[in-house]
Amino acid sequence: MGDSIQFSPTAGKRRKSYVGMNLDTTVGYAESYAALTKAANPLAYYRFHDLTTLRDEMGNYHGTVTNPVSQTGALKGDRDKGFSCPTGSANLNSFVLPSGTDISVEFWTLQTAATITATAAFMCGSVAGNGVANRCLCHCPWEDGTIYFDFGDVNQLGLSRIFGTFGPYLNKWSHVVCVAKNNGTFQGIYIDGQLRYFRTSHLALAGPLTGVMLLDFPGASKSQASMDELAFYTRELTATEIAAKYALGLNGISLSHREVSLPTPLTTAYVRCMLNTDALNNETTFLRGVDVNGVTQFSLTVNPANRQVTLTHKHAGTLTTPTLNTGWNSVEVLVSPTTISLYRNGLGPTSLTGSYSFSVSKVLVGQIERREATGGGQLKLDEVAVSASRIGESL
């Protein structure tokens, strides 16, 4: 078994209370993924939790569905489910994809090798031959086992289509993101967090597209695949954002953490927590502050081999605490535009000074990332708090 995380109640004595945001660590993993998706400001976002309708979490473009089949979702601990629609229909009739903008379409899909058909995961726009050949579409895959992403005039597929094999991603939940820049300089397909297929010259959309068909293709077959966590964006998701989303999905399914959005972005952030690494075997990132786009501004990693915590800052570099004591230790971080400070058990700080521009909109806390090693282990966290300035009394 891999490492686990335990959020422990305060034991032995009542530690001093303080002003700040206490993070409730009982909320599930899937909610973290949803929070990251919503923070990226999608045009529309579908979790398929209520299959009486296709509800847009952003409130913009609700859809309709007939004969849906609920499936086990792509995300660990998700009360919402994926869905398939092998005999029915799923449509976002009022959806409008504007022209003149970059686009990204993100979804999780589960397609078995035995049930591949000639169909599409999503199609926004039109099919060839009906006089309006402008579309945004993904066959994932087509009956030949190839994933295709079309963006623009389908009568000019040499300038509007990229494609590649989908074989390695069958028979499991896979994360797919199709991106295109409207200026025609980049069109790509990311699968499982990596850019797999791309081109640097392609067509732009000739005009806005209305309506989306899911898990179907006109005149062809109904899809037998399942879909989950579908989001449309009117911008190009970055490689960093896409990798982060995949890390919150199947690749990181054994990890446990909570993401909390702050009421307002902080340009000075103070974080402190209680940390116990006595039973931890593997180097583990346990806290991360990110901006509104999900880009990491600073993180805290503990190495049980040398019993030290390292603060990594996007601009300033790294700071390391002295050796931790056995049992519980307090760790405090102050990140401001002029100073980066790290405290252990109220002592210190170890600091860097300079000019640092950053903003923290969300805090991830828990077992975010680990370096794999053999054997189990446990990281313990307690009394995590975030505020806009350092509080004088130590934990």
pLDDT at 75 over 80: no
Mean pLDDT, residues 14-37: 45
Domain at 383, CATH number:
2.60.120.560
Same domain, 201 and 77: yes
Across 200-204, 259-263, 352-356, least confident range: 259-263
Same domain, 80 and 221: yes
pLDDT at 375 over 50: no
287 belongs to a structural domain: yes
pLDDT at residue number 131: 45
Burial class (CB in 10 A: 0-12, 13-18, 19+), 314: middle
Across 105-119, 122-136, 145-159, 318-332, least confident range: 122-136
Which structure tokens are listed for 244? 């982060």
pLDDT at 361 over 60: yes
Mean pLDDT, residues 194-214: 88
Same domain, 231 and 282: no
Same domain, 198 and 119: yes
Strand partners, 353: 339
Same domain, 227 and 89: yes
pLDDT at residue number 80: 57
Burial 358-367 (b: 16+ CB within 10 A, else e): bbbbbbbbbb
69 belongs to a structural domain: yes
36 belongs to a structural domain: no
363's CB contacts (< 8 A; 6+ apart) are 23, 259, 260, 262, 271, 287, 288, 289, 290, 386
Mean pLDDT, residues 101-122: 95
Across 16-25, 173-182, 322-331, 353-362, least confident range: 16-25
Token pair 């879909």 in the structure block, residue: 227
Q: Can you list the alpha helix ranges (DSSP code H) found in 189-279?
A: 239-247
Residue 259 or residue 229, greater confidence: 229
Q: What total of structural domains would you count in the chain?
A: 2
The gap between the terminal CA atoms of the chain, to the nearest Å, is 32
Same domain, 180 and 262: no
33 belongs to a structural domain: no
pLDDT at 306 over 80: yes
34 belongs to a structural domain: no
pLDDT at 16 over 70: no
In the chain, the percentage of residues whose pLDDT exceeds 70 is 81
Of 205, 236, 267, the last residue of a domain is 236
Torsion of Cα atoms, 113 then 116 then 121 then 124, to 10°: 150
Give yes or no for a contact between 71 and 83, defined as CB atoms under 8 angstroms apart.
Answer: yes
Domain that holds residue 72: 41-236
pLDDT at residue number 6: 38
In the chain, the percentage of residues whose pLDDT exceeds 90 is 38
Same domain, 131 and 75: yes
Same domain, 23 and 46: no
pTM of the model: 0.60
pLDDT at 25 over 60: no
Same domain, 181 and 268: no
Helices 29-39, 239-247: crossing angle, 10 deg rounding = 160
Same domain, 54 and 11: no
333 belongs to a structural domain: yes
pLDDT at residue number 309: 93
